[in-house]
Amino acid sequence: MYIFGRTRIEFGHCTLVVSEGLAFAHHIDLRGLLSLMANLGCPKKILMLCGDYMEDLEAIVPFQALQAYGLSVDAVCPDKKCGDICRTVLYRVSPHQTFSEDRGHNFTLNATFDKIDVCSYDGLVIPGARAPEYLATYESVVEIAKHFARTGKPIASICHGSLILAAGGVLKGRTLTAFPTLGPVLVTAGANWVQPETMASCFVDGNLITGASYEGHAEYIGHFIKALGGTVTGFNKRILFLCGDYMEDYEIYVPFQSFQALGCHVDSISSKIKKGDRCYTAIHEFEGDQNFSEKNGHEFKITATFEDIDASSYDGLVIPGGRGPEYMALDQDVIKLVKYFMDARKPVASISYGQQILAAADVLKGKKCTAYPAAKLHVVLAGATWLEPHSMHRCFTDGNLVTGVAWPGHPQFIAQFMEVLGVKVCF
């Protein structure tokens, strides 16, 4: 079932309406679909203020995570419409006096700025980096910030996002944190400044949730969920992420931080990289060619040493895609770990090229499975029933196994894995 644009689906007395720009593929039985619809109900609506050269992860992680939790998220940018892109940047720690900056993914807007009804939204998200510097000069953008401040609805602002709030004059007497260099201007705007101790620092003052950078997404998004009235059940799950150099940037960061934000214990391991060291990631982008382009992504920190973990203590396994899986599939320690999770019928979620590892582990026989199209050969030869990815959003659950085509389908990929794990968010 492929759903695009504004679509109405009816099963008896049950109706699902998919908002403009929300696109997903969800192949489950009728009971599973009705369960999804019941969880969605009338979802709360979130507005995200986007702009060119916003930080890549500070846009995509809340955008896709909140959708996975059952919220409706509209991403807009002044002077742009639904379907247009915003270019993003990624910030890197550098040996210089400030961070370095590189190009990130292209972020596709799913709503038109001039057509939104601000009063219909329940919360506001403002990503950081350089976009807020120029967005703060738009009166229409500043008025949106004023509306949310005036109504007391939850506002989540990270990194440089609070420049928009400062331009709206809504920070007088408010206590907040942000990217360290914003201290002087926010103090001048009347705020009580909290110097971030680390780049993961966050602060909550009433309806205002602020953070220093994407490194603090777990706490930042978690506070936003609570401010929206959300409650999480089943959050005591332990989830293991199988990592390697040049795994896809989004395909590790989005699910990892999404489950962190729910309160789950998440660990990342790599058979060749020790705890505290970092993996390189790759940015895979669909830019109109016959295949994706690749750029260097963020570095990702490994949280546990492969040899030290007890696989039996984890409830689920996630395998990101990218180029990492093609060489990880040669590692017999990796294969042994994957076999353990599949033989124990514990939840396993694999996306994009991650299925190359499943194929090498010989655990796909009789399974229904999708993947990035170029991985079809591996999946078919491994004995799986191939599900054609007519959309990059397609995901599928077969028993304990959740598979996805690529990162555009993260909202459904994460939502389906949550269902298999027994993790729920209710608003």
Q: Tell me what pLDDT residue 91 has.
A: 82
Same domain, 141 and 213: yes
CATH label of the domain that carries residue 375: 3.40.50.880
Q: Is the pTM value of this prediction over 0.85? A: yes
Same domain, 220 and 244: no
Give 265-277 pLDDT, tens digit per residue: 999 999 999 999 9
- Domain assignment present for 177: yes
> d(Cα 301, Cα 217) in Å, to the nearest integer?
14
Same domain, 343 and 388: yes
- Domain assignment present for 12: no
Range of the domain at 277: 233-426
Statement: residue 144 has pLDDT above 70: yes
Statement: residue 282 has pLDDT above 70: yes
Q: What are the residues facing 349 on neighbouring strands?
A: 318, 402
Q: Domain ends where: 227, 255, 288?
A: 227
> d(Cα 378, Cα 328) in Å, to the nearest integer?
14
> What Cα–Cα distance (Å) separates residue 221 from each residue in 6, 65, 76, 171, 338?
27, 9, 19, 21, 30
Q: What are the residues facing 350 on neighbouring strands?
A: 319, 403
- Cβ-proximal residues to 204 (8 Å cutoff; 6+ apart), any chain: 210, 223, 227
Same domain, 291 and 167: no
- Domain assignment present for 401: yes
Same domain, 67 and 137: yes
Statement: residue 4 has pLDDT above 80: no
- For the chain, give the mean pLDDT: 91
Q: Domain ends where: 178, 211, 227?
A: 227
Cβ atoms of 373 and 389 closer than 8 Å: yes
Lowest average pLDDT, out of 27-31, 125-129, 242-246, goes to 27-31
Same domain, 166 and 246: no
Statement: residue 29 has pLDDT above 70: no
- Domain assignment present for 100: yes
Q: Tell me what pLDDT residue 15 has.
A: 39
Same domain, 198 and 136: yes
- Domain assignment present for 136: yes
Q: Domain ends where: 171, 194, 227?
A: 227
Give 44-67 pLDDT, tens digit per residue: 999 999 999 999 999 999 999 999
Overall number of domains in the chain: 2
* Mean pLDDT of the region 398-412: 98
Pairing of strands 123-126, 45-49: parallel
> d(Cα 143, Cα 268) in Å, to the nearest integer?
41
Same domain, 327 and 207: no
**Two structure tokens written together for 14:** 């049950």
Confidence of residue 94 (pLDDT cuts 50, 70, 90): low
User: DSSP for 21-63?
Assistant: T--EEEE--HHHHHHHHHHHSS--EEEEE--TTEEHHHHHHHH
Give 326-352 pLDDT, tens digit per residue: 999 999 999 999 999 999 999 999 999
Same domain, 220 and 239: no
Statement: residue 30 has pLDDT above 50: no
